[in-house]
Amino acid sequence: MAHVPQIKVPATYIRGGTSKGVFFRLQDLPERCQVPGAARDALLMRVIGSPDPYGQQIDGMGGATSSTSKTVIVAKSEQPEHDVDYLFGQVAINKAFVDWSGNCGNLTAAVGAFAIAGGLVDAARIPHNGICTVRIWQKNIGKTIIAHVPITNGEVQETGDFELDGVTFPAAEVVIEFMDPADGEGSMFPTGNVVDDLEVPGVGTFKATMINSGIPTIFVNAADIGYTGTELQKDLNADAEALARFETMRAYGALKMGLIADIAEAAARQHTPKIAFVAPATEYVSSSGKTVAAGDIDCCVRALSMGKLHHAMMGTASVAIATAAAVPGTLVNLAAGGGAREAVTFGHPSGTLRVGAAAAQVDGEWTATKAVMSRSARVLMEGWVRVPGDAF
């Protein structure tokens, strides 16, 4: 067998929010991978270490969880009044595909800093000290995101005292604005209702709020499915039967939302929609051992990503939570106490998160104008990733 040498591809490994991913500048990818297609997907899978039947991604940069099996491609923007285009690829762990159907809100926190450091933002727009406003075009969903990145002495400031539950160490705060986060191709509520009866053959019928804001998300009441809303990963992720039920519910929700035409399509669309369960504010002990008091939160939310309970909360799902909370009558709004609100603080397995959102009715349809949250990001390693030359 002929020896095939490895090739080197410039890349940066970054923590963004409660996720980690491998970031690339589009111009640094091998030429045939600079366009969508099988070659690009194969390269990214090999970088991450997928598909891995062992489920460990030992032979790649992935961390064997949905939060760490991620890739990002950034380029100078082709859109007017934007600095960069941001494309997110969620790499399946034990299957051979990359899901391009949605955004990663956590890694969004790192896009602005990566773009600045990579020379993709006009130098005239970067202050020597202060905040650099990076205008991001999110290509997966066709939406604008504004990242406010701190700059010190002309360079991105990564260290600071901002603490984010789910991340061990403090860092600099990055404020992110998701502009017009709802799907622009129809109602923010694809069924036309803020609450529906979701029929799931073999499982049951459940009240559900299905929303497309930030990322398509299906919310159900924790109590209706036998949970309290205070569960941690250890309470769910070893229960194969429970995870299978959630996946079935997610698939039928995707069908009802019009995201797929046939139930079988859900298996190849793992990234979207998300499924989450909500409950009124309840005291619990987070995964770090910290007590979350009921009085410190408006409600409890748990969400699944790529078939497993997330260790904290996905950034895009946080947008969905905040937007749903702002609309009277949704399950999230009711769990948070009902009424009008412009922000929600919710409890997740790692602690709490506050997200602001504004929603309004326009011509009888609910729409979201903006969602705002704080995250942090830090470069972990930069240089090159290596992959076998025949991997793509």
Tokens of 126: 């970067």
- In the set 104, 132, 188, 373, the catalytic residue is 104
The distance in angstroms from the start CA to the end CA of the chain is: 18
Check if 6-181+377-388 and 196-349 are the same fold.
yes
Look at the block and give the residue holding tokens 């017009």.
180
Look at the block and give the residue holding tokens 């009921």.
294
> What are the extents of the domains in the chain?
6-181+377-388, 196-349
pLDDT in tens, 205-242: 999 999 999 999 999 999 999 999 999 999 999 999 99
Residues 350-365 as b/e (b if ≥16 CB within 10 A, e otherwise) read bbbbebbbbbeeeeee
Report cis status (omega within 30 of 0) of the bond before 328: no
Q: Quick one: pLDDT at residue 80?
A: 97
Residue 27 has pLDDT above 80, yes or no: yes
Decide: helix, strand or coil at residue 201.
coil
The mean-pLDDT minimum among 22-36, 143-157, 185-199 falls in 185-199
- Nearest-angstrom CA–CA distance, 58 and 76: 33
Whether 314 sits among the annotated catalytic residues: the reply is yes
pLDDT in tens, 140-153: 999 999 999 999 99
- Nearest-angstrom CA–CA distance, 151 and 128: 7
Q: What is the DSSP secondary-structure string of 315-348?
A: HHHHHHHHHHHTSTTSHHHHHTTSS--SEEEEEE
Q: Quick one: pLDDT at residue 336?
A: 98
If you average pLDDT over residues 281-298, what whole number do you get? 98
pLDDT in tens, 336-377: 999 989 999 999 999 999 999 988 888 888 988 899 999 999
Decide: helix, strand or coil at residue 350.
coil
Confidence of residue 328 (pLDDT cuts 50, 70, 90): very high
Confidence of residue 99 (pLDDT cuts 50, 70, 90): very high
Q: List the CATH code of the domain at 6-181+377-388.
A: 3.10.310.10
CATH classification number, 196-349, choose in 3.90.980.10, 3.10.310.10, 3.20.20.140, 3.30.70.20 = 3.10.310.10
- Nearest-angstrom CA–CA distance, 182 and 174: 22
- Nearest-angstrom CA–CA distance, 319 and 355: 7
DSSP conformation class of 46: H
Decide: helix, strand or coil at residue 248.
helix
- In the set 249, 313, 314, 373, the catalytic residue is 314
Tokens of 316: 């895009």
Whether 257 sits among the annotated catalytic residues: the reply is no
Q: Are β-strands 299-305 and 343-348 bridged in parallel, bridged antiparallel, or unpaired?
A: parallel
Tokens of 178: 């998701």
Phi, psi angles (nearest 5°) of residue 78: -95, 0
Q: pTM for the whole thing?
A: 0.92
If you average pLDDT over residues 44-56, what whole number do you get? 98
Whether the Cβ atoms of residue 342 and residue 326 lie closer than 8 Å to each other: yes
- Nearest-angstrom CA–CA distance, 269 and 274: 10
